[in-house]
Amino acid sequence: MRRLLVTGAAGFIGSNFVQYWLEAHRDDHVVALDVLTYAGNLSSLDPVLKNSKLKFVKMDILEGERVRALMEREQIDTIVHFAAESHVDRSIHGPDPFLETNIRGTHELLKAAKTVWLTGGGSGPYQFHHISTDEVFGTLAADAPAFTEETSYAPNSPYAATKAASDHLVRAYHHTYGLPVTTSNCSNNYGPYQFPEKLIPLAIVRALEGKPIPVYGDGLQSRDWLYVRDHCRGIDRILEKGRVGETYNLGGGAERKNIDVIKMLCSKFNAMFQSDAGLRSRFPRCPAADGGDTASLITFVRDRPGHDRRYAVDAMKATLETGYGPAESFETGLGKTIVWYIANEPWWRSVMDGSYKEWMKQHYSG
């Protein structure tokens, strides 16, 4: 039986992970920590908030002393560290919070774990699992092989640079102090509860509202897409089978160009609206509501500065060592995601509050 501390638990992947874990490991205790930035929403934990094995704590990982006391009080033996500033575009506009949370926050957490676990007199076993990204490896040429765990770090955005720095700190705490750590570097996630500033939920929400769907540059950049539940299973496999001190790449084996992602999404909308009168009356502004083509909303906009052209992940190490493998194809995962957003309109409306509207106004003209 584990006693987990999950940081960033009210964010996109964190909330999916907490829900997954409580289902898959019914005897475990989970302390869900989150400071609730614009990206953190307690409503994302609604389905499990009444579960007696879960405790939610509003706390900033930058407050290391409070985190240390919490770990002692709750006898935490496992940390799964998601908390971060995570949006590349925001890191370009204002990098400072990224340095604070992603670098200094991770360091506060490492210090707390070191104090409690290595000098606290408990017996363990302990595990600090750090959630990172494939973006630390930089960009790939069109014909280059996918990132492996041996690929050199070459982060290009302020976000990626801060995640790279946090990975190095995690590694150093293992190498220098013997802190039992594992790290996973994952590709782009999508699925329920993703904040509608990232490509897929942004496109879904804007299609439902009949607003332009912004595609950066020529739209030929590609990403490797992983359904969030498969990411959660992958983290579980690493907690179970991963070797201490190792890093594991996790990917979906679903590399797609951005424009193809959006076109697939639009054609799914067209088909769903054609066969469902209820959808047509709930979302009358979507072009498909009166027989039009949702793809008519696609609008090419100015490219992101320093935009990485291509990410692709080789997850063979995780597969061989831990049995990792995604269950969803991109087609099935995208379908489930669209269905979830249609069924959970109150969730996305509630998170698109004043600060979201302000960001959208500044960032996208029109």
Catalytic site positions = 134-135, 159
Q: Which of 61, 76, 146, 272 binds ligand NAD (CB under 6 A)?
A: 61
Q: Which of 105, 158, 192, 214 binds ligand TYD (CB under 6 A)?
A: 214
> For ligand TYD, which stretch binds (CB under 6 A), given 57-65, 137-145, 215-223, 245-253?
215-223
Secondary structure of the chain as H, E, C letters? CCEEEEECCCCHHHHHHHHHHHHHCCCCEEEEEECCCCCCCHHHHHHHCCCCCEEEEECCCCCHHHHHHHHHHCCCCEEEECCCCCCHHHHHHCCHHHHHHHHHHHHHHHHHHHHHHHCCCCCCCCEEEEEEEHHHHCCCCCCCCCECCCCCCCCCCHHHHHHHHHHHHHHHHHHHHCCCEEEEEECEEECCCCCCCCHHHHHHHHHHHCCCEEEECCCCCEEEEEEHHHHHHHHHHHHHHCCCCCEEEECCCCEEEHHHHHHHHHHHHHHHHHHCHHHHHHCCCCHHHHCCCHHHHEEEECCCCCCCCECCECCHHHHHHHCCCCCCCHHHHHHHHHHHHHHCHHHHHHHCCHHHHHHHHHHCCC
Q: Which does 215 bind (CB under 5 to 8 A by kind): ligand NAD, ligand TYD, none?
A: ligand TYD
Q: How far is the CB of 106 from ligand TYD (least distance, A)?
A: 18
Q: Which does 199 bind (CB under 5 to 8 A by kind): ligand TYD, ligand NAD, none?
A: ligand TYD
Residue with smaller CB distance to ligand NAD, 184 or 270 = 184
User: By CB under 6 A, is residue 334 in contact with ligand NAD?
Assistant: no
> For ligand NAD, which stretch binds (CB under 6 A), given 31-39, 251-259, 266-274, 314-322?
31-39
Q: Which of 57, 62, 99, 301 binds ligand NAD (CB under 6 A)?
A: 62
> For ligand TYD, which stretch binds (CB under 6 A), given 18-26, 44-52, 197-205, 268-276?
197-205
User: By CB under 6 A, is residue 258 in contact with ligand TYD?
Assistant: yes
Interacting residues with ligand NAD (CB under 6 A):
7-8, 10-14, 34-37, 39-40, 60-62, 82-84, 86, 101, 105, 131, 133, 163, 186, 188-189, 195
- Residues forming contacts to ligand TYD in the complex (CB under 6 A) are 88, 188, 198-199, 202, 214-216, 221, 223, 258, 304
